[in-house]
Amino acid sequence: MDNCLFCKIAAKQIPATVVYEDDELLAFKDINPAAPVHLLIIPKQHIATLSECDEGHTALLGKMLALAPRLAKEHGVSVVYDAEGTPTRGYKTLINSGPDGGQVVYHMHMHMYGGPRPWKGMH
Ligand code: 5GP
Ligand code: ZN
């Protein structure tokens, strides 16, 4: 898509700190992090919102979600269990859809937030 910020990042026309790339997906650091670790996972293909997706996108969406635990491990925010078996650390995955969903950039993306709390204005 012409004039789409994240298409331009996917095409390397705008710089970003890329943390993962394959033929279908790109993950990069959010420019204005709301948590110590704040990554964005996008399909390289332009899809404006999650509302453009249906069952035909199951594999792509599954791949986006399945990338989160891998990136969490690589960025030190994976869930780990202490000696008592209590979970520690962890992260949040989030897709904002449309204005009421708080979406600002209309190229579908999944946020991954992690790291020690508190986070800026987030639960
Ligand atoms: P949304 O509110 O659409 O779910 O989130 C858009 C996210 O994109 C925001 O967290 C914002 O900080 C991030 N963002 C906006 N412009 C850029 C940019 O040029 N580069 C990067 N890396 N992130 C961006
Ligand atoms: Zn796009």
121 has a pLDDT exceeding 90: no
Identify which ligand lies nearest to the alpha carbon of 46.
Answer: 2
| Ligand 1 atom showing the smallest separation from residue 104 Cα | 3
Band of residue 14 on the pLDDT scale cut at 50, 70, 90 = very high
> How much distance in Å is there from the Cα of 81 to the middle of ligand 1?
32
| Mean pLDDT rounded to a whole number for the chain | 97
Residue 2 has pLDDT above 90, yes or no: no
**Is pLDDT above 80 for 112?**
yes
Answer whether residue 17 shows pLDDT above 90.
yes
User: Residues 71-91: what's their mean pLDDT?
Assistant: 98
Distance from the alpha carbon of residue 25 to the mean position of ligand 2, in angstroms: 12
Q: Kindly identify the ligand whose nearest atom is closest to the C-alpha of 107.
A: 2
9 has a pLDDT exceeding 90: yes
Mean pLDDT value across residues 24-31: 98
Catalytically annotated residue among 46, 109, 111, 123: 109
Is 123 one of the catalytic residues?
Answer: no
Residue 36's nearest CA partner among 95, 91, 104 is 91
- Please tell me whether the overall predicted TM-score, pTM, comes out greater than 0.90 for this model: yes
pLDDT number for residue 59: 98
The bridge status of strand 80-81 relative to strand 87-88 is antiparallel
pLDDT above 90 (res 71): yes
CA 61 to chain centre: 11
Residue nearest to atom 4 of ligand 1 (CA): 103
Taking Cα atoms as reference points, which of 107, 102, 99 lies closest to residue 1?
107
